[in-house]
Copies of this chain bind each other. A is one copy, B any other.
Amino acid sequence: MIRPSEDNQYYELHSPTAMPKASGFLWNENMMIHMNCRGYAVSQFMQPEPSKYSHAPNLEAKTFMQPEQPYYAHHPGRFVYIKDEESGGLFSAPYEPVRVLPERYTFFAGKHDIKWLVQHDGIAVEMKLGLSKNDPFELWTVKVANQGRAKRKISVYPYYTVGYMSWMNQSGQYHEELQSIVCSSITPYQKYKEYDKIKHLNDKTFLLADKAPTAWEVNQEVFEGEGGIGNPSALEGDTLSGSDARYEMPVCVMQYKLELEPGDETELRFIFGAARTEEDIAAIRRKYFQPGTGGSDGFAEAEAEYAAYVREGEGCLEIDTPDKALDNFANHWLPRQMYYHGRTNRLTTDPQTRNYLQDNMGMSYMAPELAREAFLTALSQQNASGAMPDGIILHKDAELKYINQVPHTDHCVWLPVCLVTYLDETDDYSLLEEKVAFADSPELATVSRHIDLAMEWLLKTRDERGLNYIEQGDWCDPMNMVGYKGKGVSGWLTMASGYAFRVWGDICQNCGRMEEAALYRQRAEETNEIVNRYLWDGNWYARGITDDNVPFGISSDKEGKVFINPQGWSLMCGAADEQKKAKLMQAVTEHLESPYGVEKLGPPYTAMREDVGRVTQKHPGTAENGAVYNHAAAFYIYALYLADEKDHAFDLLRRMIPGPDQEDLERRGQLPVFIPNYYRGAYRQIPRTAGRSSHLFNTGTVPWVYRILVDGLFGLKGERNGLRVAPRLPSDWSGVSVKRSFRGAELNVSIKRYKGIAAQEVYVDGELAEDGLLAHLETGKHYEVLVKIPG
């Protein structure tokens, strides 16, 4: 069974086999760990590029985080073997690698820690993983208790994977004076100039113990012997052999021999992670394990500091609705996931520009000062031509990597689209007057001017019809061969430009730039006409037109007939009239909606289409090719709210957030502690795998889901003069309560259905608010808001 804990701090899972890939994740300012319910782990830290201290058993490719990846016996993990010294009985917590099904098992995926409680054969094992706020290592607490009635002699063996560190140099040994296993390696390099970088890397992996172990094993081969990782030969003996590793695969295993009277409990604590030198490890030991005043020590203090850090990631909404799973997700996990994005920039030094802007759109709700800074950083990397780069460089040594080396044409769109949330939330229009230089020119220009240039760039990079060039790709579907010859155009991007012009026109109006306001609104109108002239296919909008003038994403296509993006954005930019809206919604329902959400395109491509390109080579139902790509789905839902399609919008929103239905959760295979970047799609073609969750929690979906809640579902959106109330509850909700923080004011909003009223009525502290606008709200004050809606 999967359920939230009573304090909503955890999600609980009660079987290690029901959802073998279920996981939780923790992050801090310098690392991330994705912890699987069975004990496997994916962890990375920044120096400045993502690095590992716990490796696979072979040479791993260095690449971006994978959405779905297999686990296998030697996948990096954190385990505790428990051996009964008298009977020889062996099991491991949490479950891997011995795979003895414990009598009781609970996995707690938490916000600031991750825990297991495993009870087997009269022994209870509690494992807890925490982090500090900044350090690239894990804080582990292992408690072992005798729950039986007889004295027990057991050995407890914490196991931490080190893996294949380096082909150049790797070794490991126990250091008595550090009470640590220290594994050393050297990052391989070929060119002498690289040495200057690699010499500063944290190339050591260490396991530091609070209590001195009875014995240890550092050599993976010696540890496993012929028994293998599931039944290691080294555990057959009385004590581990104290091996070392010399250009052999290291492992960190310690042994604690315990004699436990009935009811006795022993607590062991460990720090596992990366360091540069033995001196650093000695300093860590002093900092974390030296008792402070009052009995607490650095370890406990770090845990408390980290919990406080995670708590900082609070949203501006606290909701109480008939849907408790939604409440839990929106109040706890969604802001947490959004905060993760904003704080870590997805653990990359060169986030894609569109991701960086959207992640910081999310930060507008929780840490607007960071969002402000990020917008300025992004604009400082704009070219004087108005073009935005493909990625934002966040570290002096960073460079554009992977997909950021492929030119995309949509980055400018996201400037007004994301900025408007910051302005709505803060009313900080002074940002528009800040002066920033360009990447290729020291000339200072206001933020307004920067965005004017971005809009002009979007107007310039159009063909003779007025459709925007796609070059080697735009957002969310890397269709790299539609327009690489310089002629192909993107339907979606043309709509998105139109939407950006409209939003920017509104912003200009708000700050008194009336001429620009009129100009951009006119451009938006013109764009809508162009969209309707060239892209309407009869029942929905086409995705684009190739270099060879072939429209695609249209009814005569066999695969990739309908794409979600042009449909949602045609609603947002206003191109679709009522008739078109009805038709395209019908098409989306027919071709793209699934029990797990709205698919990105359908039917998915099963073979290469050379004039479309890369997306058609993605596996059907995954990533961009026919998956429920939540980021794209979120825009459609947002658009439906704008179009006042309350019930349909809520229905689709609800499919995106897993739970509370247990069967649905098990099918997805992920606890509802984050929204993944996609669920497997191709529901009509490959039903067996449809709905399965990607395990990637990096996704631009989250700020948009938050914006859907604020602007759409609860309708508590900021604007220049205050907070505009316009909730769009699903018809079957009689009412909700929402706490909304807004520009320093706290609002307790009660939304209730009333029979006999024709239109919504909004009361603030008992007084009617005209047009639902809450003006003159004051920082530090509390307001009681009653919203009567017809029903």
> A-side interface residues toward B, CB under 8 Å?
17, 56-63, 66, 68-70, 72-75, 99, 164, 167-171, 186, 189-192, 195, 199, 220-221, 226, 228-230, 246-249, 402-403, 405-406, 472, 480-481, 484, 608, 613-614, 617-622, 680, 686, 688-689
> A72-B74, A405-B191, A406-B190 are contacts. A246–B688 as well, Cβ < 8 Å?
yes
Assembly CA distance A346 to B248 (angstroms): 25
**Chain B residues in 8 Å Cβ range of A68:** 247
Assembly CA distance A1 to B779 (angstroms): 85
Task: Flag if B619 contacts A168 (CB, 8 Å).
Answer: yes
**Chain B residues in 8 Å Cβ range of A56:** 56, 58
Q: Determine which of B58, B249, B619, B680 lies in contact with A169 in the assembled complex, contact meaning CB atoms within 8 Å.
A: B619
Assembly CA distance A171 to B617 (angstroms): 12
Task: Flag if B480 contacts A614 (CB, 8 Å).
Answer: no
Q: Determine which of B73, B171, B406, B614 lies in contact with A228 in the assembled complex, contact meaning CB atoms within 8 Å.
A: B73
Q: Determine which of B192, B230, B248, B622 lies in contact with A230 in the assembled complex, contact meaning CB atoms within 8 Å.
A: B230
Assembly CA distance A775 to B480 (angstroms): 70
**Chain B residues in 8 Å Cβ range of A246:** 619-621, 686, 688-689
Assembly CA distance A402 to B59 (angstroms): 16
Task: Flag if A69 contacts B58 (CB, 8 Å).
Answer: yes
**Chain B residues in 8 Å Cβ range of A680:** 247
Assembly CA distance A608 to B72 (angstroms): 36
Assembly CA distance A406 to B622 (angstroms): 40
Residue of B nearest to A625 (CB): B169
Residue of B nearest to A184 (CB): B619
> A192-B480, A403-B190, A686-B246 are contacts. A226–B17 as well, Cβ < 8 Å?
yes
Query: Residue among A220, A221, A618, A619 with the most chain B CB within 10 A?
Result: A619
Query: Which 9 residue pairs are nearest across A and B when measured between Cβ atoms?
Result: A57-B72, A247-B619, A59-B61, A169-B619, A72-B74, A73-B73, A192-B480, A61-B61, A70-B249
Task: Flag if B59 contacts A66 (CB, 8 Å).
Answer: yes
**Chain B residues in 8 Å Cβ range of A171:** 619
Residue of B nearest to A163 (CB): B70
A-B contact pairs, 21 of them (CB 8 A): A57-B70, A57-B72, A57-B75, A60-B61, A61-B62, A63-B167, A70-B221, A70-B248, A70-B249, A72-B73, A73-B74, A170-B619, A190-B406, A191-B406, A192-B472, A192-B481, A195-B480, A195-B614, A246-B621, A246-B686, A247-B680
Task: Flag if A617 contacts B60 (CB, 8 Å).
Answer: no
Residue of B nearest to A229 (CB): B73
**Chain B residues in 8 Å Cβ range of A57:** 70, 72, 75
**Chain B residues in 8 Å Cβ range of A60:** 58-61
> A72-B57, A608-B199 are contacts. A190–B405 as well, Cβ < 8 Å?
yes
**Chain B residues in 8 Å Cβ range of A199:** 608
Assembly CA distance A247 to B618 (angstroms): 10
Residue of B nearest to A55 (CB): B58
Q: A190-B405, A230-B230 are in contact. List 8 more A-B contacts (CB 8 A).
A: A57-B72, A57-B75, A58-B75, A61-B61, A72-B73, A168-B617, A191-B406, A192-B484
**Chain B residues in 8 Å Cβ range of A72:** 57-58, 73-74, 229
Query: Residue among A246, A614, A622 with the most chain B CB within 10 A?
Result: A246
Task: Flag if A247 contacts B169 (CB, 8 Å).
Answer: no
Assembly CA distance A130 to B192 (angstroms): 43
Q: Determine which of B74, B249, B622 lies in contact with A74 in the assembled complex, contact meaning CB atoms within 8 Å.
A: B74
**Chain B residues in 8 Å Cβ range of A619:** 168-171, 246-247
Residue of B nearest to A95 (CB): B226
**Chain B residues in 8 Å Cβ range of A247:** 68, 619, 621-622, 680, 689
Q: Determine which of B69, B70, B99, B689 lies in contact with A220 in the assembled complex, contact meaning CB atoms within 8 Å.
A: B70
Assembly CA distance A229 to B228 (angstroms): 11
Task: Flag if B169 contacts A617 (CB, 8 Å).
Answer: yes
Assembly CA distance A402 to B69 (angstroms): 28
Assembly CA distance A402 to B191 (angstroms): 9
A683 to chain B: closest CB distance in Å? Answer: 13
**Chain B residues in 8 Å Cβ range of A191:** 405-406, 472, 480
Query: Residue among A17, A72, A199 with the most chain B CB within 10 A?
Result: A72
A91 to chain B: closest CB distance in Å? Answer: 14
Residue of B nearest to A64 (CB): B167
Task: Flag if B621 contacts A99 (CB, 8 Å).
Answer: no
Assembly CA distance A723 to B186 (angstroms): 51
Residue of B nearest to A63 (CB): B59
**Chain B residues in 8 Å Cβ range of A228:** 73, 99, 230
Task: Flag if B99 contacts A168 (CB, 8 Å).
Answer: no
Query: Residue among A68, A70, A75, A688 with the most chain B CB within 10 A?
Result: A70
Assembly CA distance A167 to B63 (angstroms): 10
Assembly CA distance A69 to B170 (angstroms): 12
**Chain B residues in 8 Å Cβ range of A74:** 72-74
Assembly CA distance A72 to B228 (angstroms): 8
Assembly CA distance A680 to B99 (angstroms): 37
Assembly CA distance A249 to B228 (angstroms): 22
A244 to chain B: closest CB distance in Å? Answer: 8
Assembly CA distance A402 to B74 (angstroms): 29
A168 to chain B: closest CB distance in Å? Answer: 6
Residue of B nearest to A71 (CB): B57
A431 to chain B: closest CB distance in Å? Answer: 34
Task: Flag if B613 contacts A192 (CB, 8 Å).
Answer: yes
**Chain B residues in 8 Å Cβ range of A63:** 59, 167
Assembly CA distance A190 to B352 (angstroms): 14
**Chain B residues in 8 Å Cβ range of A689:** 246-248
Assembly CA distance A478 to B61 (angstroms): 24
**Chain B residues in 8 Å Cβ range of A229:** 72-73
A190 to chain B: closest CB distance in Å? Answer: 6
Residue of B nearest to A249 (CB): B70
Query: Residue among A66, A171, A192, A608 with the most chain B CB within 10 A?
Result: A192
**Chain B residues in 8 Å Cβ range of A220:** 70
Assembly CA distance A689 to B243 (angstroms): 12
Assembly CA distance A264 to B456 (angstroms): 82
Task: Flag if A70 contacts B58 (CB, 8 Å).
Answer: yes
Assembly CA distance A577 to B663 (angstroms): 86
A689 to chain B: closest CB distance in Å? Answer: 5
Residue of B nearest to A62 (CB): B61
**Chain B residues in 8 Å Cβ range of A186:** 617
Query: Residue among A58, A189, A226 with the most chain B CB within 10 A?
Result: A58
**Chain B residues in 8 Å Cβ range of A169:** 617-619
**Chain B residues in 8 Å Cβ range of A230:** 228, 230
A728 to chain B: closest CB distance in Å? Answer: 36
A723 to chain B: closest CB distance in Å? Answer: 44
A46 to chain B: closest CB distance in Å? Answer: 20
**Chain B residues in 8 Å Cβ range of A249:** 70
